[in-house]
Amino acid sequence: MYLESVAILFQRNTGGVLSGFWLKMKLKRIDEYMSDEILIIYGTETGNAEDLAEEIGNLAGKHGLVSKVFDMEDVSAENLARSKRLIVCVSTWGEGEQPDNAQDLYDEVVGLDDGSMMNVNYAVLALGDTAFELFCESGKEWDRVLEQKGATRVNERIDCDTDYYDYVDEWIGLTLKIMQDIEV
Q: Tens digits of per-residue pLDDT, 119-141? A: 999 999 999 988 888 999 999 99
Short-list 171, 78, 59, 141, CA closest to 69: 59
Q: How far apart are CA 143 and CA 81, in angstroms?
A: 14
> pLDDT tens, 38-59?
999 999 999 999 999 999 999 9
Q: Structural domain of residue 129, as residue ranges?
A: 2-25+34-180
32 confidence band (pLDDT: 50, 70, 90): low
Q: Which helix (H) or strand (E) holds 9?
A: helix 2-13
CATH number at residue 155: 3.40.50.360
Amino acid occupying residue 121:
N
The kind and range of the H/E element at 139 are helix 137-148
**Domains of the chain: total:** 1
Q: What is the percent of the chain with per-residue pLDDT over 70, rounded to a whole number?
A: 81
Secondary structure (3-state) at 105: helix
Question: What is the pTM for the complete model shown?
Answer: 0.81
pLDDT score at 94:
84
**For position 11, what pLDDT does the model report?**
46
Residue 12 has pLDDT above 50, yes or no: no
